[in-house]
């Protein structure tokens, strides 16, 4: 395992501002997802909801290392990535509820948030489905010399998809500025990854000549430090990288997956929540460093809560698209 460098030594935005910002972003994702859970269980949200709670440090740590015009691709469990890349919570909620003002005019929903303004090429409901898109975006960046990089978020479940290795091979051959971020939350839906994943995950990168590292996904500073290094490397023309991020999904595969004891124990879940919670880890660090006290952290929570509540009310009140919109946007 690669030891993360101290972010304070590599980051231009050192100090309280960056770290408090990352804490606030993680809080935003946490409260957003708790609100999604609430909307869903009250039957106010149609469809499916795959919650990102527990994994917040991954999206925030990686996206904080990116420029606004850098690209990301996301997954079915994508709310955190979209928010971390800069999505607005009101338009996110509106899309999740299928409303006209949502990011995709209500045509995409939870699993397809996309937003060119924040470089979000789209969440993707096919596991591994966006690996080509991210690699293609990196191809464009290289060809046009824009200096952009592309980050491809995927879960460890996508390690079973052949297309991942096809594009990794080409990314290495062509030295494309793409970073493959594997979020290992340990469960391919309802199956522990050890039952589906042979050998050493991290060894798969070097097999293609792709620079590979792993990092503790519950420590946002560590994720940020690793991501920043890999992003700078890619931007400098040194080629793709694989970042394996070890994390944990607090909730089920989706909101309806509530009886989970046939695949994992409540004790295991509780241990992660108690000992490895990314918000607690960062909060403790902030207080230990004297960058914030408990009251300041509470204030962040309360401010974010107000923003979330307001966004939910906005989305609930927003109108649905009229049915005559159904056949618009099929062709450009």
Partner 1 sequence: MSTLETTGGLETATATREITLAQAIREALAEEMRRDPRVFILGEDIAEAGHPFKVLTGLVEEFGPQRVLDTPISEAGFTGIAVGAAMTGMRPVIDIMFGDFIGLTMDQMVNQAAKIHYMSGGKWKAPLVMRTTLGATRRSAAQHSQSLHAWFCHIPGLKVVMPSTPYDAKGLLKSAIRDDNPVVFFEDKMMYRLKGPVPEEDYTIPLGVADIKREGSDITIIATSSMVQVALGAASLLEENGISAEVVDPRTLWPLDEKTLVDSAKKTSRVIVVDEGYGRYGVTAEIASVIQENAFFDLEAPVKRMGAMHVPIPFSPPLEDVTVPNEKTVAEAASAMCGVK
Residues 6 or more apart whose CB falls under 8 angstroms from that of 200 comprise none
What does the CA dihedral 139, 143, 145, 147 come to, rounded to 10 degrees? Answer: 0
- Alpha-carbon distance 214 to 230, whole Å? 11
Closer CB to partner 1, 112 or 305, in the complex: 112
Three-class SS state of 239: coil
Residue count at the site for partner 1 (CB under 8 A)?
A: 45
Q: Angle 299-301-304 (CA atoms, 0-180°, nearest 5)?
A: 105
DSSP structure class, residue 160: G
Among 9, 12, 42, 116, binds partner 1 (CB under 8 A): 116
Q: Which residue has the tokens 């996301």?
A: 74
Interaction of residue 154 with partner 1, rule CB under 8 A: no
Q: Does 262 bind partner 1 (CB under 8 A)?
A: no
Radius of gyration of the chain (CA): 19
Q: How far is the CB of 266 from partner 1 (least distance, A)?
A: 36
Choose between 104 and 300: whose C-beta lies nearer to partner 1.
104
Locus of tokens 């607005």: 88
Cβ atoms of 36 and 53 within 8 Å: the answer is: no
Backbone dihedral angles phi then psi of residue 181, each to the nearest 5 degrees: -105, 105
Q: Examine residue 105 and tell whether it contacts partner 1 (CB under 8 A).
A: yes
Query: Quick check: helix, strand or coil at residue 39?
Result: helix
47 binds partner 1 (CB under 8 A): no
Stretch that binds partner 1, among 25-33, 119-127, 191-199, 218-226 (CB under 8 A): 119-127
Shortest distance, position 112 Cβ to partner 1, whole Å: 4
Exactly one of 61, 108, 205, 283 binds partner 1 (CB under 8 A); that residue is 108
Pick between residue 102 and residue 283 the one whose CB is nearest to partner 1.
102
Choose, by CB under 8 A, the member of 270, 271, 310, 328 that binds partner 1. Answer: 328
| Residue 144 touches partner 1, criterion: CB under 8 A | yes
Q: Looking only at residues 61 through 90 of this chain, which bind partner 1 when binding is defined by CB under 8 A?
A: 71, 73
Q: Among 197, 131, 123, which residue's Cα sits nearest to residue 164?
A: 131
Contact positions vs partner 1 (CB under 8 A): 71, 73, 102-108, 112, 114-116, 121-122, 124, 126, 129-141, 143-144, 150, 162-163, 166-167, 169-170, 173, 328-332
């Amino acid at each position: 395992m690669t030891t993360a460098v101290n972010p304070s030594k590599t980051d231009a935005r050192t100090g309280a501002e960056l770290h408090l910002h990352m804490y606030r972003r993680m809080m935003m994702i946490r409260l957003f997802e708790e609100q999604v859970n609430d909307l869903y269980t009250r039957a106010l949200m149609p469809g499916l909801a795959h919650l990102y709670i527990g994994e917040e440090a991954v999206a925030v740590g990686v996206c904080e290392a990116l420029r606004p015009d850098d690209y990301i691709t996301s997954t079915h469990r994508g709310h955190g990535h979209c928010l971390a890349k800069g999505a607005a919570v009101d338009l996110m909620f509106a899309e999740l509820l299928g409303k006209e003002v949502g990011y995709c005019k209500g045509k995409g929903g939870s699993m397809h948030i996309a937003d060119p303004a924040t470089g979000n090429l789209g969440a993707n409901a096919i596991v591994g489905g966006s690996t080509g898109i991210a690699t293609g975006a990196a191809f464009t960046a290289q060809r046009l010399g824009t200096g952009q990089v592309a980050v491809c978020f995927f879960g460890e479940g996508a390690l079973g998809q052949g297309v991942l290795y096809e594009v990794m091979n080409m990314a290495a051959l062509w030295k494309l500025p793409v970073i493959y971020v594997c979020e290992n939350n340990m469960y391919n839906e309802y199956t522990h990854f050890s039952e589906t994943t042979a050998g050493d995950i991290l060894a798969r990168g070097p097999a293609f000549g792709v620079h590979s590292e792993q990092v503790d996904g519950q420590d946002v500073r560590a994720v940020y430090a690793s991501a920043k290094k890999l992003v700078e490397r890619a931007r400098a023309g040194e080629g793709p990288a694989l970042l394996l991020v070890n994390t944990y999904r607090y909730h089920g595969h989706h909101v309806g997956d509530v009886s989970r004891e046939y695949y994992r124990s409540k004790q295991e879940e509780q241990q992660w929540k108690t000992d490895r919670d990314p918000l607690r880890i960062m909060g403790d660090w902030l207080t230990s460093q004297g960058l914030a006290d408990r009251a300041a952290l509470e204030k962040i929570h309360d401010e974010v809560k107000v923003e979330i509540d307001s966004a939910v009310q906005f989305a609930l009140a927003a109108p649905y698209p009229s049915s005559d919109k159904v056949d618009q946007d099929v062709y450009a």
